[in-house]
Structure 1
Amino acid sequence: MSIHTDSMELLEEIYHCCKTNQSFNLSQDYLFDLLPNKCHDLEMQVDYLRDSGYVSDFAPTCGFPISLKITSKGIMAIENVSTPVATSNVTNIYGSNFGIAGNNNSSNTVNNTFNYSNLQNIIDNSPYSDNEKQMLLNELKPLYDRIELGAPLEKGMLSSISDKIKDYQPLLGAVLSSLTTFLTTPK
């Protein structure tokens, strides 16, 4: 058998032992009674499980050279629990990214989940003055109305907005995310 297979069988034993006891322990006498090659195999399996994050040391200084407890990763492996994968609409933007400077700006990931209410929350929680907040909301409202309707953008709309919000860097990501989703979504 392979080290992985043997280690996973040992992990299952550790799992069942930890369900009834606090830890999995093997005494010095037990290890002395094993044949040298079996003892070496056991140590390799324990090292494999420890290095993989399936188990951690419990109390090896209390007379048990092997004293382990199972980790949450080990429990998930035995119980065949998969970690959920978050899904969202993600777009990679390549090229110049409005103020992102550096040699590695070729693969910024933007999460495209912003709508007008999200933008309102960003603006409301921003440190800008009330006049600036109102100006930003007034400038962006026509754009988001058209996006929500799925209507084409009017000529000059984007340049007008970009002139107004270029000094508000935190908003650029949100607006760019919304625009990217709108412009790249098939109609």
Structure 2
Amino acid sequence: MSIHNDSLSLLEQIYNAQNAYGSFAIVRNTFDNLPFKDRQALEQQVKYLKDSGYVENHTPCVGLPISLVLTASGIRKVENIQTNASISSINIMGSNYGIVGDNNSSNIINNNCSFSDVQELVKSSDFSEEDKALLLKELKSLYDRIEMKAPIEQGMLSSIADKIKDYQPLLGAVLSSLTTFLTTPK
């Protein structure tokens, strides 16, 4: 057997002893009378279980060389209780996309902005009122075509490109919508 399997077998013995007596303990005489190899194996198994977070010391100060109780992780291991890590969803809007948080496994950006989202970005921008009105007019015709799944006419983007290229949130939203439109099968 392996240290892992032997340790899990010991973990079950500790579980049973804890349920029956409150803890698992080996008195000094019993421990000292074990053959050297058995004592060494027992120490390795206990270390393995402690390092894995399955057990912790109980009362070693009373002269017991091994005195253990199970942790919550140890109990879950013996009782074969699966824990599911909660997965949180974080929506990030802006030009700097990335993964934020713990245990992220992918970087999927699905940011298909609607015209109302783009409208809010334009309204919150530093453009003059005249430029805002012009941008909204041009973007409205672009988003109307996207919604109808109609082809984008030549020159539609060039009329707004010089204005939005320096305002990254708006550029990111428009490019995301265009990318989704262009890559979606018609």
TM-score between the two structures when normalised by the length of structure 1: 0.55
The alpha carbon displacement at 1:87 in A equals 2.9
The residue aligned with 1:2 is: 2
The residue aligned with 1:18 is: 18
Q: What is the identity percentage for the equivalent residue pairs of Structure 1 and Structure 2?
A: 37
| SS of structure 1 residue aligned to 2:115 | coil
1:107 to 2:98 alignment: yes
Larger Rg: 2
- Change in 2 beyond 3 A, CA 1:12/1:158: same
Which residue identity lines up with residue 44 of structure 1 in the other structure? Q
How large is the RMSD of aligned CA atoms in angstroms? Answer: 3.6
Q: Give unpaired runs (5+ residues) of structure 1.
A: 98-105, 111-146, 164-178
Is the CA contact (8 Å cut-off) linking 1:92 and 1:109 kept in structure 2? no
Q: Kindly report structure 1 stretches of 4+ aligned residues shifted beyond 4 Å.
A: 90-93, 182-187
| SS of structure 1 residue aligned to 2:9 | helix
Distance 1:159 1:92 in 2: 18
Distance 2:53 2:118 in 1: 57
The alpha carbon displacement at 1:19 in A equals 1.1
* Cα-to-partner distance string for 1:140-177 (whole Å, 9 max, x where unaligned): xxxxxxx9xx96337643121345xxxxxxxxxxxxxx
The correspondence of residues 109-148 of structure 1 with structure 2, limited to 5 A, is 109=100
The alpha carbon displacement at 1:4 in A equals 0.4
The alpha carbon displacement at 1:17 in A equals 0.8
Is the CA contact (8 Å cut-off) linking 1:57 and 1:67 kept in structure 2? yes
Distance 1:63 1:155 in 2: 72
Which residue identity lines up with residue 7 of structure 2 in the other structure? S
| SS of structure 2 residue aligned to 1:153 | helix
The residue aligned with 1:33 is: 33
The residue aligned with 1:68 is: 68
The residue aligned with 1:124 is: none
- Change in 2 beyond 3 A, CA 1:4/1:89: same
Q: Give unpaired runs (5+ residues) of structure 2.
A: 102-111, 127-172
| SS of structure 1 residue aligned to 2:61 | coil
TM-score between the two structures when normalised by the length of structure 2: 0.55
| SS of structure 1 residue aligned to 2:16 | helix
